[in-house]
Structure 1
Amino acid sequence: MISCDRSGDIWTVTIDRPDKANSLTHAMLTELAEVMEAAQVARAVILTGKGRVFSAGADLEAARAGLATSDVWERLSGAIAALPGLSIAALNGTLAGGAMGMALACDIRIAVPHAKFFYPVMKLGFLPQPSDPARMAALIGPARTKLILMGGQKITADEALTFGLIDRIVEPDALCDHARTLAADTVAAKPEIATGIKRMCGA
């Protein structure tokens, strides 16, 4: 239920469980982490999903079994943050819960107009993954981070763009093509230019 197109210098990783809102089982989450660890050789990585939801986070049964607080989420976001090339979250729809971490760890986030963003840890009664609040606050500031994490607010794509949580809104039929366009200059340049720019940006 995780597919990876490794053709060329751009890897496209797709969460493919649309009938379950792309919710993640332990096996899927582990596979995502392994793919991102292998993707350290890629020049650019696009992370997306099938259907109208990017990911609802942990599968309900898996969450009850402890996946919601598993350290595999942190392993995944750490692997994405360590990618030497450009990482792009092409958010095909709503992003919820722990799945927020993988998007926050990407260099760029683009989303479709109907996407919504929420992370209901207060309601569910546990802390977010350790790196998620800091990454979110770096993008949108501490108060807006608390609005989402502590206030339980569901943010629309327009609000997310205004906040700085996403970088661009793109129509669904153009989403992945736009992501590949964004990756084109990075792929064409020498690898050390990409890593140098990321280092200069503090990433």
Structure 2
Amino acid sequence: MIRSDRDGDVLTLTIDRADKANSLTADMLATLADHVEMVDDTTALLILTGAGDKVFSAGADLGEARAGLATSPLWERLSGAIAAIPCLSVAALNGTLAGGAFGMALACDIRLSVPGASFFYPVAKLGYLPQPSDPARLARLVGPARAKLILAAGARLSAQEALAFGLVDRVTDDPLAAARDLAVGQAAHVAAIKAMVP
């Protein structure tokens, strides 16, 4: 349910469970983390995307969330691995981003979204806390007040609102193609430039 495709120095990981809104199971999270942790200096660009044209990911699979996945350390393992890789990382958001799936998108360097996507992280409404590193990453992108609006008040954003907030970097009809267009530098140069940007 996680597809891995390599084209030269570009690695694309696709959440492929469109019939279930690309919701994530523990096995899928572990597989994603395994792939990201294996990224080496031959990779210039990592792209995360989802199957279908509606939802990037609805977060945790509901059945597994009730069984403990909502508070699993796997979410933090995945986002930490994404944040640590030397290559450029891009979330190509083919649709709505919700719940725990926020973590992997927040950990990416760049977020590209389709116009019809919406964004919400309803942890407070569901009785959970966000994953430990998500609030700080979100606040760095959108500011503390807007981070509280999203996390504590459960605000739902449109793609245009997310763009205006700074949560999304570009809105485009084909975020996967736009992400692939970013593969312009050699892996070593990309890593060096990324390391220069605080």
**Structure-2-length-normalised TM-score:** 0.96
Q: How does 1:123-142 map to 2 (within 5 A)?
A: 123-142=125-144
In the alignment, structure 2 segments of 5+ residues that lack a partner are: none
Q: Aligned Cα RMSD in Å?
A: 1.0
CA distance in 2, matches of 1:13, 1:167: 20
Which structure has the highest helix share of the two? 1
The aligned residue for residue 51 of structure 2 is 50
Pick one of 64, 70, 73 that aligns with 2:72: 70
CA distance in 2, matches of 1:6, 1:178: 17
Matched-pair contact (CA < 8 Å) for 1:44–1:86: yes
Identity %: 63
Secondary structure of 1:48's aligned partner: strand
Matched-pair contact (CA < 8 Å) for 2:121–2:151: yes
CA distance in 2, matches of 1:90, 1:157: 13
The aligned residue for residue 199 of structure 1 is 195
Q: How does 1:5-154 map to 2 (within 5 A)?
A: 5-41=5-41, 42-51=43-52, 52-154=54-156
1:120 maps to amino acid: P
Residue deviations 1:61-86 (CA, integer Å, cap 9, x gap):
11011001100000000111111111
2:197 maps to amino acid: C
CA distance in 2, matches of 1:190, 1:117: 31
More displaced stretch, 12-21 vs 32-41: 32-41
Secondary structure of 1:195's aligned partner: helix
Matched-pair contact (CA < 8 Å) for 1:40–1:82: no
Residue deviations 1:50-71 (CA, integer Å, cap 9, x gap):
1110000000011011001100
The alignment of Structure 1 onto Structure 2 pairs a total of residues equal to 196
1:166 maps to amino acid: V
Quote how far apart the aligned CAs of 1:115 are: 0.5
The aligned residue for residue 165 of structure 1 is 167
CA distance in 1, matches of 2:35, 2:132: 21
1:28 maps to amino acid: M
Quote how far apart the aligned CAs of 1:158 are: 0.2
**Structure-1-length-normalised TM-score:** 0.94
Q: Does 1:180 align with 2:180?
A: yes
Quote how far apart the aligned CAs of 1:7 are: 2.6
From the superposition, tell whether residues 19 and 190 of structure 1 become closer, same or farther in structure 2 (CA, over 3 Å): closer
1:54 maps to amino acid: F
CA distance in 1, matches of 2:143, 2:155: 15
Residue deviations 1:17-74 (CA, integer Å, cap 9, x gap):
0000000011111101101111234211010001110000000011011001100000
CA distance in 1, matches of 2:166, 2:140: 10
Quote how far apart the aligned CAs of 1:102 are: 0.2
Quote how far apart the aligned CAs of 1:194 are: 2.0
In the alignment, structure 1 segments of 5+ residues that lack a partner are: none
Matched-pair contact (CA < 8 Å) for 2:44–2:187: no
After TM superposition, which residue ranges in structure 1, 4 or more long, deviate above 3 angstroms?
Answer: none
Secondary structure of 1:114's aligned partner: coil
